[in-house]
Chains A and B, each alone.
Chain A
């Protein structure tokens, strides 16, 4: 227990994160309101991804944890997207 895992995140930081998250929520609602055609999905998904990165790194402390946890999370995400990608090789080219 000698390593720096006792890092305590100040309350202020959490509030900033929350504000950012809520702002992005409204932005993603906004972006789907203006008609961007098929890009609106993309826009909404980009915001969702940014939001989840915030949640993962601060709320879930990944930023302060050992790097191998981050690697694992990245690996799981990668695996999942690869699976979706390969599934689409079927549906997209059918």
Chain B
């Protein structure tokens, strides 16, 4: 079946920590999954309102953010290869780029939300509750919750990457013990994966 050999070093089992990370990713997927169910149902119940509201979002910013995340996903993936090739300098550089990209993503998000707020749109705002239909209220409610939760994950991801970066620099994460970096990468890809679905669902419904 599978390898059952116990490790000589009981505190380090690369496969185990990878499996653990994957399992954690599954829970994250279902966490967002719950929101996707809510989204699917309300979209089904209010198709026109969702389309109308979707027009309020700026595709260009959305697309830019998508590309930023995709690129950052690639850089962090490359950093594991770099680590395995024992190229510490490159690993660090790639991780730094990833963090920068994440930051840019957040800044974009900040401005994007800011514009919405200027238009009087935020969860429970007067404008939303009084002047808009039920479908729009739901759309923006979900928009803020889902992108907000996603942004929270970006922040968490950044923290993990920073920790990994530190350990790479210190040399505690290296080609033979890459788990932390690999897991940071997996987590970051998860964040990307979710965005891959959020983007069309909110920005691209016309």
Q: Chain A: residues with CB nearer than 8 A to chain B?
A: 1, 3, 5-6, 8-11, 14-15, 17-18, 21-22, 25-26, 28-29, 32-33, 35, 40-41, 44-45, 47-48, 51-52, 55-56, 58-60, 65-66, 68-69, 72-73, 76, 80, 83-84, 87-88, 91-92
Contact = CB atoms under 8 A, between A and B. Distances in A.
Contact of A6 (B73, B77, B84): B84
5 contacts: A5-B14, A9-B77, A32-B206, A84-B37, A91-B41
Interface stretch (B95-103, B121-129, B192-200): B192-200
Interface majority SS (helix, strand, loop, mixed), chain B: helix
Contact of B77 (A59, A68, A69): A59
B70 to A, nearest CB: 5
Nearest to A10: B81
Contacts of A76: 26, 29-30
Contacts of A44: 200-201, 204-205
B67 interface: yes
Contact of B200 (A5, A14, A47): A47
Nearest to B43: A41
B197 A52 contact: yes
Contacts of B29: 76, 80
Contact of B206 (A18, A40, A47, A52): A40
Contact of B33 (A11, A73, A80): A80
B200 A45 contact: yes
A23 B22 CA distance: 28
Given A59-B189, A60-B186, A91-B44, A48 B205 contact: no
Contact of A69 (B22, B66, B73): B22
B200 A69 contact: no
B61 interface: no
A92 to B, nearest CB: 7
Contacts of B78: 11, 14
Contacts of A56: 189, 193
A91 B45 contact: yes
B200 A33 contact: no
Given A3-B3, A87-B37, A14 B22 contact: no
Contacts of B204: 28-29, 32, 40, 44
B115 interface: no
Nearest to A3: B3
